[in-house]
A and B are shown apart, each in its own frame.
Chain A
Amino acid sequence: MPKTPNQIHENTLRQATISVLVENEAGVLARVIGLFSGRGYNIDSLTVAPVDESGRQSRINVVTTGTEMVIAQIQAQLDRLVPVYRVSDLSEGPHISRELALIKMIGTGEARSEALRIADAFRARAIDATTESFVFELTGDTGKLDAFLNLMRPLGLAEVSRTGVAAIARGTRLI
């Protein structure tokens, strides 16, 4: 059966960055993760940390991929969890997302100096150095970090530690 334009649209995948404000109670992260695994949703990235003064509320940022219907489902499913205050799909509007990576390079000679040059171009900071190694710190959106890592790979990339995505809407819009 040929697909109608509507069906094609319905089957298109997109990435969404969903922020969730939760009560900081025991098991809340397990609940969110269990929801994603139990219902077969993707998690591309997930971060969580307390965000209010008293430490009672945490913010979870989930980057996920799915059809429009699935992304709407994910939000509705998250919203019905008892400890959830608010759910927002930041990718519906202008927003900023950032992650931080710590990147360990091991090597000497030309590769080492090339790595330093590229790091400079990306504004990555060397925050640790020995004669055979560097640790770079780089902040940016996921695409920038991926591009940087791709360039570093042949130059002695030894280890990566990434935070996952933290995101917030632009302007005055709140979660």
Chain B
Amino acid sequence: MTEMKSGAEVLLRALKEQGVEVIFGYPGGAVLPIYDALFQQEDIRHILVRHEQAAVHAAEGYARSTGKVGVVLVTSGPGATNAVTGLCDALLDSIPVVCFSGQVATHLIGNDAFQEADTTGITRQATKHNYLVRKGSDIARVVHEAFQVARSGRPGPVLVDLPKDVMVADAPYSAAPNTPHRSYRPRTEPDFELVTKAVHLMKLARKPIFYTGGGVINSGPEASELLRELVRLSGYPITTTLMGLGSYPANDDQFLGMLGMHGTYEANLAMHDCDLLINIGARFDDRVTGRINAFCPHATKIHVDIDPSNINKNVKVNLPIVGDAANTLRAMLAAWRADSVEPNREALAKWWVQINEWRAIHCLSYEQDKSPGAIIKPQYAIQRLYEATRAHERATGQQTYITTEVGQHQMWAAQYFHFDSPNRWMTSGGLGTMGYGLPAASGVQVAHPDALVIDIAGEASILMNIQEMGTLCQYRLPVKIFILNNRYMGMVRQWQDLLHGGRRSESYSEALPDFVKLAESFHAVGLRANNVGELDDVIAQMIASPKAVIADIMVDQDENCFPMIPSGAAHNEMILGPGKDQRAAHVSAAGRMLV
């Protein structure tokens, strides 16, 4: 039987059926009926952010740390346009988010009404799909469809635009949360014959490597388990992308670290020299491949991806397999056990000898003067933070989640903070959105109230969504903001020094706030470490505090992020950094364009 309720009530009922527990949002005229309905129920919690961009990032943090769909509610016009950056971010990183936006009443659409924006038009290329709901009878169906589209296949953001009159008027409700979509049926089961072929290639390889990405994380924790099983069974080396960190334990011997522009020497050289590349859930992003025509020049390439459009997009592969990462890994394990051929252990042993030679360069080593008054190296700050959280985890069982902003600190976090489990690492990879980390961390903390959630930040990035300190305070979210304060947009400065004759155009962080006082003004704790002697204590106080904390860590201003593959260069043309490699960075004109 179909009952009649207001459109807003139908919306909330459909959300409850989808299992939604939290919405990140911000009110306004066009969504008042929805806020009114929210007020009159208790099942769904609303977290009031301070900016709609932050609502989307918070939903992303929530989604990435739980595997559930993140939900956003914003008003029409400026509310919706503020959300666009977040939607783009979720699109590029394949994060399942459903964003509901208010819209002016249907009869006003197209009339330049107050706070009207063509939201579906503006977000068409910023979402996986979007809808404008014109009739009350469509609300429930569209909501269920939106969740289905957001989470299935390659996940992504979906926007649902809701005109005010549709939310006010009565609408029928008939439950149908999981009817199959009419046209959207992404393939998730791999072709077993291709899997068998792939496994056969794997068995014959002499210099194989696994290169895995966010697809493994998105597929759910089981995919990471299966990946571990396959990697261990094979004995092959593995490297992951920025998005894939945590899918394989970072401290395991077979893990070569992250690859790509700021990846490890051993990972990138192994990529360059391998004879078989097994890509699972990564998309040959330009930050990973470097110069395309010099990418893995000797390798046969297997590519497993849930999105057929990722196949042969940037790099032509020999054996594409379309399927979900977990399903494909399961099939690969079965095929591996069924294939009687033994892997070439002798060749493999030689391959490991070679890899260990590359490893012996210790590309991530850095020099830290340990005297108490010494300047803190940013790498050291992350390393100490990592060690402290590890010890804390062992002592208390409290789990650690890391988000980041964008810049050098993000790369150092990726290099020096080691992840053993999926869903613990939230960073803006594809869009590279400064201002992501703080709201994302608040979303993570909402989902995991008892966890230790740290945003590793830069002093420039943190100011992009600093207003979210208010959200932390209101909901008592004890997020820790660990600022590597180098008084520079360090990543910009690094490129300027490298490519633009050291002309540091507009990259100095002038007129910074006093972050300690800033924290205090938002009822949080502010701490500062000026030198090595103060670092560990500040980290300990930060972790121990039951409140939100900003820890302002004054780090070496001149430190650069290494190793580095300059844009447009090949994996074997890495720069290792001062004292390690005397080769001057040679960046071609074409490379400069790729920045």
Contacts and interface: CB of A to CB of B under 8 A. Distances in A.
Given A82-B128, A82-B149, A76 B120 contact: no
Contacts of A73: 309, 312-313
B124 A30 contact: yes
Interface residues of A, number: 21
A34 B132 CA distance: 17
A22 interface: yes
Contacts of B132: 26-27
Contact of B124 (A22, A31, A76, A79): A31
Nearest to B153: A80
Contacts of B129: 81-83
Contacts of B184: 82-83
A73 to B, nearest CB: 6
Interface in A17-51: 22-23, 26-27, 30-31, 34, 38
Given A27-B124, A30-B121, A80 B183 contact: no
Interface in B297-322: 307-309, 311-313, 316
B125 interface: yes
A27 B161 CA distance: 13
A38 B186 CA distance: 22
Nearest to B145: A82
B182 interface: yes
Interface string A60-86: 000000000100110011011111110
A23 B182 contact: yes
From DSSP, what is the main secondary structure of chain B's interface residues? Answer: loop
B121 A79 contact: no
A37 to B, nearest CB: 9
Interface residues of B, number: 23
Nearest to B134: A26
Interface string B178-192: 000111101000000
Interface of A: 10, 22-23, 26-27, 30-31, 34, 38, 69, 72-73, 76-77, 79-85
A116 to B, nearest CB: 47
A131 to B, nearest CB: 45
A80 B312 contact: no
A41 to B, nearest CB: 12
A80 B308 contact: yes
A84 B308 CA distance: 14
Nearest to B186: A80
Nearest to B146: A82
Interface in B102-132: 120-121, 124-125, 128-130, 132
B447 to A, nearest CB: 27
B120 A27 contact: yes
Interface string B303-347: 000011101110010000000000000000000000000000000
B182 A80 contact: no
Q: Which of B120, B130, B149, B184 has the most CB of A within 10 A?
A: B184
B312 A22 contact: no
Given A30-B124, A76-B309, A79-B308, A84 B316 contact: no
Contacts of B307: 80
18 contacts: A22-B183, A23-B182, A27-B121, A27-B124, A27-B130, A34-B124, A38-B125, A69-B316, A72-B312, A73-B309, A76-B309, A76-B313, A80-B153, A80-B154, A80-B307, A81-B129, A83-B129, A85-B183
Nearest to B132: A26
Contacts of A77: 309
